[in-house]
Structures are given as structure tokens and as C-alpha cells.
Structure 1
Amino acid sequence: MKRCIACLIIALSLLAGNSSYGQSALVAKVLAQLQIESNQCNEELIAEKPLPYHKELSVVVIPKYNEKEEEFFSLDSYILVVNNQSGKIISKYFEEGTTNGWTSDAVRLESIFIDTAPYKVKAGVNAFAIKLAFRGSSNPNPYSSELISIFEPRGAKIKCLLKNFDSETSTGEWDMHCAGEFNEEVKTLSFSKTVSQGYYNIIVKNKIRHIVSTKVNDDCKKKITSKTTTKILRFKNGMYQ
């Protein structure tokens, strides 16, 4: 129950950090420039957020349908930096739904949100992140994950520096009452002072938990083991790897 409450709090905070399409005149201006109708998009997943270090600018994400069926869709990704007043597109990134991983089927794409915490990828350069949250549809085999991508505006273009890095994963198998096993991984990214090809290395700390739940008499007992690992992502051939 505590975990469910925590997840709800996180979800509400993420929604608070991303304005929805229905509330935004700015997004309407962006759609007009892109010559995209709102009904061509997954309107629930459209997001926008001001850049705290460039207060006249915002990041806007337009997820346009590439394919759409009853239980499946894929989305073309338009990631934009725009002027808050005019809505003019300053910088643009586009990738088709066939290659960007923005798909929803048995594992549902539930949310797209913008992280404008200053990702200081190199001296004097702030990037931003786009995070995708997925959730599986099976109750006996729960699954959720979060993917993070980091983007750097470069004039009229936006460069993807890190693509769909698996930052959170939760899997499990249980009897839907008590007995089962669960695995959780939460990865925290930070930037080191060492540099590869002009970009700061990313330190990834991965907190891993393994949970075994068993029924003892009338109680549900949990045994939790945990460990933390560390790895380094280095910039090579235009991407962090």
C-alpha cells in the first residue's frame, strides 16, 4: 500500500510538471507551424515545460501517430524548443515511430514527461531529458519501466546524446495474493569531471532490489536483498554508450 501511495505521488508530481495540450495555447501555435492537426496526435501525451535556464523558452513534445490500431500505436516524436510568447520553433528534433521506441502495445506507453533539470553535458552547455513511462498489462507478471533520453539544442537542430536508456525497471511474478518474487532497478545519473570527446562522462549508480514474498500463517512476509553497482557512460561517435 505504501508503494502504491508513493507511485501516485510521483505520478501527480510528473503531471504537474508538464502542461497538457488542452490547457496550452503555446502548443496550438506549434501544431499550426508543423501543419499537424490535434487529432493526428496522442493528445494525452503532448507535453510542454519552460526551460528554467532560458526563461523565454519552453520544451514542447508532440507525439504524432505513426500507426494506430485498437490495442497498439506508435508515435513519431517531435521534440522542440520554442519561444514562449510567439510559439516560434527555435530548435527541432524529429524521429519516426519506426525507430524511436515510442510504441504502445501489451506494454503500454503511459506518459511522456520533460525533465528540465540542468544536464550539464559539457562546460557551459545545459541539455534536457525526455522520460517515457511504460507499464505492462499482466497482473500476475507486473512490469514497469522508465526510459530516459538526453537532448542538446544546437541552433536550429536538437541532438540526441543518450537514447532510451533504461533508468528504472520493475518486474515480478506472484500469485496475486502474497507469494512471489520481484526485481527492481533504479539508476541515478550524474556527471563526472572527466571528459570523453568533449562531453562529461555520466556516472550511473544502479540500486538493485530483489524481493521474495511468502505467506507465513496469516502474514505476508518479505525478504529484501539489495546492492548498488556503478558504471560509466562515455561519449563516443556522437552518443553516450
Structure 2
Amino acid sequence: MKRFCLRGVIALGLCGVAVQAAAECRASAYSGAEVLYEVCKDWLAYPGTRITGQARLEHPQQALPPEEPGSYELQLALVSSRDGSVQASYSLPAAILSDTSTFRGLGIDTARYRLNEQVRAFGIRSFFEGTSRANPDGETWLTLYVRDGKTLRPILEKLVVESSSGEWDTRCNGHFSDSKSTVAVAKTRSQGYADLIVTTVATDSEALEQGDDCTTASSHTRTATTTLRYDGQRYSVPPGLKAWR
């Protein structure tokens, strides 16, 4: 029987505020009394550079992790892992909305997003999880950033790379849908940046209670491939792959 959980929540480490050099990263979701998710990761493609990220709850009503709607300000930076100096940064108020699905944290993706000979992107993953037991759901978004002088610029926004949903009787019987997308860099280019190939594998399944057993009564998997092209500013994401909020 399938159980729904959010994959990889706060899977990466924690460093202090983005401008700190912090010699080590510690896994933690909150800092002090603030609702604050922090992550950091050394960017091995650029030795001596560390990626840091913060998502801070705006206008918190309480000091505990929220289960109610709220918005988060996102702050990112590339910093020197030696002295903490900021190489490039990005900040966006109300970048993340926690509403019907609760925001659960950030992850840093340093896969080989090499867009041309000079430009390599990194990813920020945002994790969400529903609160309904009878109607479980979860999503993971991917946004890619490139360095543009002293700033970081988003070029691919809110691509849904993982999604789970379902409706069941909380014992066994129910219908479930899961999808997972991978992003590969193509050899072709548009406006100077490599095209991105998104391969999505989606599975629909049904679980039935038979005696003391909970079994998969049916399952159907389908695969789709989508090419995303750079228009000079960003990669356009079609509605079926982009987060709605």
C-alpha cells in the first residue's frame, strides 16, 4: 500500500544567514522563534563558492511552524566559503505561498545545468505537503537561477518536478496519482541557451482491500516529453507543468 510523504523535505543542510561563511551546515528547519527555513550547499562546479537560501515567514502570528496560510520571502546568495563575502544575491517578497498545501522547506539542486560554455544554472526546490489524510497531496517545484553580475536571475520558474494526490478511505481503498519529472540539457540551443528536455512519468493506480490485504488493483503509467526553449529572458513552462500558485 502506498503511503504519501513529502520527499526530501529539508534534505540539505543549514547554514546561517546568507552573508555568513559558516564553516559547516546543520540540518534544521527553524531558527530561534522565527519560522525560517535555511539551506546551503557548496557548489562544486565553482570551488570556494557556496549557495545559501532562506525562506522567512512574513508577518508571523506565532512562533511555531505554521499550518495556516502565509507567504514567505525568499533570499538567495552565492557566498565565498572562505570569508563569507557575497558574490551575488537575490530577494523576492511573497515568493512562496503556503495555503491549501503547506510549505515544508527548500532544497538546493546542483545538477549539471550547463546552458552554454560560460553559463551554468543551479536549482532551488520548494517542497509542499497537504494536510488532509483522506485526500493526501504533495508537490515539489524547481526554479533555476543563473548569475548575472552581482545578482541572481530566475530563468525557469516553478516547474513541478514531483506531484502526488489521492482520495481514499484512510484504510486502503482509493485512487492515487503520482508524477515525477526529470530535466536534461539538450544539445540544441535557443537564444544562446541550451534547450531543456523535461521527461514526465505519471502513474495512476487503484488500491483495494481484499480480506486482510491491501492490494494494487490496477496501475497505468504514461510518459511524456516536453522541450523548453529560452526566449532571451526565461524558459516558458506550459500550464500542465507549472505550479498554479
Give the TM-score normalised by the residue count of structure 2. 0.82
The alpha carbon displacement at 1:88 in A equals 1.0
Q: Matches of 1:169 and 1:19 in 2, distance apart? A: 23
Question: In 2 relative to 1, CA 65–218 (structure 1 residues): closer, same or farther, beyond 3 Å?
Answer: closer
Give the gaps of 5 or more residues in structure 2: 23-30, 63-67, 237-245
What SS does the corresponding residue of 2:171 show, helix, strand or coil? coil
Structure with more helix by fraction: 1
Q: Is the 8 A contact 1:40 1:65 kept in 2?
A: no
2:219 pairs, out of 220, 224, 239, with 224
Matched, 1:42 2:35: yes
Task: Please give the per-residue CA displacement for 1:131-187, whole angstroms capped at 9, x wherever unaligned.
Answer: 011000000000000000000012201110101111111000000011100011101
Equivalent position amino acid for 2:49 in 1: L
* 1:68-87 Cα distance to aligned partner (Å, 9 max, x none): 23523311111100011211
Higher mean C-alpha displacement, 131-140 vs 207-216? 207-216
1:134 aligns with 2:125: no
- Per-residue deviation, 1:62: 2.0
Contact 1:40 1:64 in 2 (8 A): no
Question: Is contact 2:125–2:141 with CA below 8 Å preserved after alignment?
Answer: yes
2:162 to 159, 168, 176: 168
Does the aligned pair in 2 maintain the 1:49–1:114 contact within 8 Å? yes
Higher relative contact order (CA 8 A, sep 6+): 2
Q: 1:60 aligns with which of 52, 63, 66?
A: 52
* SS of structure 1 residue aligned to 2:8: helix
CA distance in 2, matches of 1:51, 1:215: 48
State the alpha-carbon separation in 1 of the partners of residues 235 and 154 from structure 2: 9
Match of 1:119 in 2: 113
Partner in structure 2 of residue 196 of structure 1: 190
Residue 28 (structure 1) shift: 6.5
Deviation, structure 1 residue 105: 3.2
Alignment partner of 2:41: what SS? strand
Amino acid at match of 1:61: G
CA distance in 2, matches of 1:239, 1:65: 27
Aligned 1:1-241 pairs, distance under 5 A: 11=8, 15=11, 18-21=12-15, 24=16, 27=18, 29=20, 42-43=35-36, 45-69=37-61, 71-97=68-94, 100=95, 102-222=96-216, 223-241=218-236
Q: CA RMSD in A?
A: 2.4
> Does structure 2 conserve the Cα–Cα contact (< 8 Å) formed by 1:41 and 1:63?
no
Identity of aligned residues (%): 25
> What secondary structure does 2:59 align onto?
strand
For 1:61 and 1:157, locate their aligned partners in 2 and report how far apart those are by CA, in whole Å: 14
Give the direction of change, closer, same or farther, for the CA distance of 1:95–1:27 in structure 2 (3 Å limit). Answer: closer
Gap regions ≥5 residues in structure 1: 32-37
